[in-house]
Amino acid sequence: MAKRQLKLGLVTMGVGGPGQTNRWLDPEIPVDASVNIDWYIDIVRQAEAAKFDLVFIVDSQFITADSPPHYLNRLEPLTLLSALAVATTHIGLVGTLTTSYNAPFNLARRLASLDLISKGRAGWNVVTSGDAGTAGNYGLDEHYDYATRYGRAFEYLEVVRGLWRSYEDDALVRDRATGVFLDKSKLHALHHKGEHFSVVGPLNIQRSPQGEPVIFQAGDSDQGRTLGATVADAIFTHARTIEQGQAFYADLKGRAAALGRDPDSLVILPGFTITVGDTDAEAQSIDRALRRIDQSFEQALAEFGRPFGWHDFRRYDLDALFPVEALEHARSSFYTQAKAITDRAIALGLTLRETVEYQRDVYASPFVGSAASIADAIERWFEERALDGINVHAGHPSQFRRFTQEVVPLLQARGLFRTDYEHTTLRGHLGLPIPTNRRSEVARFVCTGSRR
Ligand SMILES: Cc1cc2nc3c(=O)[nH]c(=O)nc-3n(C[C@H](O)[C@H](O)[C@H](O)COP(=O)(O)O)c2cc1C
């Protein structure tokens, strides 16, 4: 059996995502990085040179003036990834796209196009949209409630995967000698009629060298975890400690096993900022300095309302007990996160100021140290099943360079990470099988009474 290997992803939020309001002041980051294709190409090529599995593009479609700089002005994921596809050769290309504000036919088509353009490197981070304000950009008064959001997501996945299996792999004959372009018996309509969607099909695009895009999922509620365990190939998450990572890992793998899946077919990828110094002490001081620069308390307070539907916490007394009534504003937003923040504040009797301070530390990383200490820590989290891989938040460019040039070689020397690509597809990198075109097999069974 092949040795289990660490996976590495790159997350890049150019001029600064959550907790990084002043990131753009770093002179190494172009002030327009989040809309600058040359900058994206450069950093993604760095990740590809270090043999990373994938680049992950986060997204949302609702902003306020207090949104992080990257969110205020950024490229749409599939457009960006299509450009990156032709500027790279191996790295996986994963984009966040919401099931709440896209039609499944259109999204299936666009993702399948990226998968062909990149020759089998596309991935889809399936989200239901945490930013409730997105509803107003799509003609709705309110965002869908959780039951509807996740109900739609489950059905959406069924539709999209069904559409991706419209053509059997040898359906397009394209034989000039016989004049046959298509074997019509191998093209299948979907005829889906469900609670949320009605889609006839077929989809007008063939499958890619990896069969179909890899499915990622990042919801943390019970519904989100069930969706991930049921349909995802890989899970994005956060963890502050190895114990938290292990608990999430065991929960998701356990859910997958209970559903009859091979737990190894579900890849768990928490995201971290990583700070490298010449010594552990120097790394700690670099990390402290960078985090002080990245966001002031006032900026953190302004951004604090995001999981609570962008509720404005500046209206409260900072030194009074945390205003628990604010949780109501999170109902159709990032409720799981907002509830965890509120529950902790209640349990510890925290003030608003203390709660905001604690949240600022959410971005504190367990991976701060010399290259050797970081490699040790990553090895421990990996071997002790807190993760299958890491989404490395690129952050300050000098730090990402240090990770790729100092830490990755150590991981390679320990046999934990590849020294070269062995595959050309994202499924290949992640060790995932090509999904069988089962719907076509079923259709064939119905037509002929026998399976091939
Ligand atoms: C690592 C990670 C990355 C995420 N990326 C996005 C994203 O790019 N866009 C988005 O709308 N939601 C994103 N989410 C949010 C979730 O997918 C989900 O919508 C949100 O957490 C609320 O649902 P939940 O209560 O089930 O977690 C992310 C969550 C995590 C943990």
Q: Do 34 and 14 fall into the same domain?
A: yes
Q: Do 203 and 318 fall into the same domain?
A: no
Residue 142 lies in a domain: yes
Q: What is the number of the ligand 1 atom nearest to the C-alpha of 98?
A: 11
Which tokens is 207 given?
């499958």
Closest residue (by CA) to atom 9 of ligand 1?
59
What is the predicted pLDDT for the residue at 450?
33
User: Of all residues in the chain, what percent carry a pLDDT higher than 70?
Assistant: 96
β-pair partners for 198: 193
pLDDT score of 451 more than 60: no
The mean pLDDT of 406-432, rounded to a whole number, is: 98
Closest residue (by CA) to atom 13 of ligand 1?
127
The Å distance, Cα 118 to ligand 1 centre, comes to: 25
Residue 291 lies in a domain: no
The Å distance, Cα 98 to ligand 1 centre, comes to: 10
Query: Do residues 294 and 22 touch, judged by C-beta distance below 8 A?
Result: yes
Q: Do 183 and 316 fall into the same domain?
A: no
Closest residue (by CA) to atom 14 of ligand 1?
218
pLDDT score of 449 more than 50: no
Hunting for tokens 């943390």 — which residue is that? 220
DSSP 3-state helix, strand, coil percentages of the chain (rounded to 5)? 50, 15, 40
Q: Do 328 and 394 fall into the same domain?
A: no
The mean pLDDT of 97-112, rounded to a whole number, is: 98
> Is residue 332 in contact with ligand 1, taking CB distance under 6 Å?
no
Closest residue (by CA) to atom 28 of ligand 1?
218
Residue 44 lies in a domain: yes
> Is residue 99 in contact with ligand 1, taking CB distance under 6 Å?
no
Pairing assessment for the beta strands 54-57 and 92-98 based on DSSP bridges: parallel
Number of domains in the chain: 2
Residue 287 lies in a domain: no
**Domain at 25, CATH number:** 3.20.20.30
Q: Do 135 and 165 fall into the same domain?
A: yes
> Is residue 336 in contact with ligand 1, taking CB distance under 6 Å?
yes
What is the predicted pLDDT for the residue at 395?
87
pLDDT score of 236 more than 50: yes
Q: What is the number of the ligand 1 atom nearest to the C-alpha of 391?
A: 1
> Is residue 331 in contact with ligand 1, taking CB distance under 6 Å?
no
Query: Do residues 142 and 151 touch, judged by C-beta distance below 8 A?
Result: no
pLDDT score of 226 more than 50: yes
Q: Do 340 and 382 fall into the same domain?
A: no
Q: Do 419 and 329 fall into the same domain?
A: no
Q: 3-state class of 270 per DSSP?
A: strand
Name the band, by pLDDT with cuts 50, 70 and 90, for residue 380.
Answer: very high
pLDDT score of 351 more than 90: yes
> Is residue 390 in contact with ligand 1, taking CB distance under 6 Å?
no
What is the predicted pLDDT for the residue at 444?
42
Q: 3-state class of 235 per DSSP?
A: strand
Name the band, by pLDDT with cuts 50, 70 and 90, for residue 3.
Answer: confident
Residue 295 lies in a domain: no
Task: Collect all residues with Cβ–Cβ distance below 8 Å to 308 and sequence separation of at least 6.
Answer: 326, 327, 329, 330, 333, 334, 338
Residue 413 lies in a domain: yes
Which residue did the predictor score with more confidence, 219 or 8?
Answer: 8
Q: What is the number of the ligand 1 atom nearest to the C-alpha of 128?
A: 19
Query: Do residues 436 and 428 touch, judged by C-beta distance below 8 A?
Result: no
Q: Do 329 and 404 fall into the same domain?
A: no
> Is residue 381 in contact with ligand 1, taking CB distance under 6 Å?
no
Residue 288 lies in a domain: no
pLDDT score of 436 more than 90: no
Query: Do residues 69 and 34 touch, judged by C-beta distance below 8 A?
Result: yes
Burial pattern 203-231, b for ≥16 Cβ within 10 A else e, equals bebebbbbbbbbbbbbbbbebbbbbbbeb
User: Which among 290, 318, 320, 288 is positioned nearest to 302, based on CA atoms?
Assistant: 318
Q: Find the domain containing 329 and state its range.
A: 305-362
Q: What is the number of the ligand 1 atom nearest to the C-alpha of 150?
A: 26
Reported as a single tens digit per residue, the pLDDT across 269-319 is 999 999 999 999 999 999 999 988 899 999 999 999 999 999 999 999 999
pLDDT score of 61 more than 60: yes
Distance of CA 105 to the CA centre of its chain: 21
> Is residue 391 in contact with ligand 1, taking CB distance under 6 Å?
no
The mean pLDDT of 75-84, rounded to a whole number, is: 98
Q: Do 137 and 265 fall into the same domain?
A: yes
> Is residue 94 in contact with ligand 1, taking CB distance under 6 Å?
no
Final residue of a structural domain among 318, 346, 362: 362
Name the band, by pLDDT with cuts 50, 70 and 90, for residue 440.
Answer: low
Name the band, by pLDDT with cuts 50, 70 and 90, for residue 442.
Answer: very low
Q: Do 61 and 40 fall into the same domain?
A: yes
The mean pLDDT of 430-444, rounded to a whole number, is: 72
Q: Do 274 and 312 fall into the same domain?
A: no
Residue 451 lies in a domain: no
pLDDT score of 431 more than 50: yes
Name the band, by pLDDT with cuts 50, 70 and 90, for residue 1.
Answer: low
Q: Do 341 and 381 fall into the same domain?
A: no
Q: What is the overall mean pLDDT for the chain?
A: 94
Task: Collect all residues with Cβ–Cβ distance below 8 Å to 75 and sequence separation of at least 6.
Answer: 34, 35, 37, 40
